[in-house]
Amino acid sequence: MGSPMGDDRFLAAVAAALESDVLRRQRLGGGDVADSSQLELADGRVVFAKTHAAAPPGCFTTEAAGLEWMRATGAVAVPRVLAVSDGGDPEGAGPEGAAAEVPNFLVLEWIEEGRPTAATEAELGRALAAMHAGGTQCFGRPDRRTTGSRGLPNEPCDTWAEFYATQRLLPLARLARDCGALPEGVIGRLEGLAARLDAVGGPPEPPALLHGDLWAGNRLVDIAGRSWLIDPACHGGHREFDLAMMRLFGGYGEACFASYADRSPLAPGWQDRIALHQVAPLVVHAIKFGGGYVGAATSAIGAYR
């Protein structure tokens, strides 16, 4: 939670960006990073807004770009970005102006949550397949922005094997070694896996636009039963990655995967590659949280020895 003075600056900055005073703020739970709120504005709008006391550089503009990237496909429902700022010192401020630092924030249209209908899961599967099928310029990101709380790189790559090795598995191996998150032998096997992706990754595919962090908490269902995607870590990647992430923590129905497969079948052997695509998020969780994620990451890596 921010300080009262920080709260005042945040609300004033949002009001200025939206050109409407904030009449009421209701803090929201559920986030483990940002301070999220529902705001009621003087012009009658209700919006979602979040800020972060120590956000990584470019955090919210990168998230906003990802939301707009997905929204531009017309395939999936994504909240409109109403305002965004990565904060920083106000123009002309010197060291004495540090207390007046402009807050970071992201403001989105408010999505009123409801309950799934009988069609919700199948509709999401078809929408996700359409988003993936639209493709993107490269594996990684054309703007080279990093994503996630560990700032994973997204340098443009020509193949998925190059991307997953150089932009995910090897950087994560270095992070895990630096903080002692995984035993050295497991890190060695992770580095070995990065060198063998052409052999275990299945047939080549063109880059798909991925959400990049599609666990169930990053899907909202509105009052009409429609799914909305939030909190992306967008990049060009292998479409099996999003689907593997959806299976990692549960929360998606089999109708979702079945309708995806009807629209856009996966290459043969995809079942054997689920754990391969789960290696990266499991190592991230092992680095951040330790505990059972260490064993889960070790098991996923060991499946491809």
**How would you class 136 by CB atoms within 10 Å of its CB: exposed for 0-12, middle for 13-18, buried for 19 or more?**
buried
| Annotation marks residue 213 as catalytic | yes
Of 120, 138, 104, 299, the C-alpha closest to 209 is 138
Q: What is the DSSP string of 74-118?
A: TSSB-PPEEEEE--BPPTT--GGGGGGPBPPEEEEE---B----T
219-221 and 208-210: which strand pairing? unpaired
For 135, other C-beta atoms within 10 Å of its C-beta total 15
**Among 35, 213, 231, 242, the one annotated catalytic:** 213
- Does residue 4 sit in helix, strand or coil? helix
Helix or strand or coil: residue 235? strand
- For the annotated catalytic residues, the residue numbers are 213
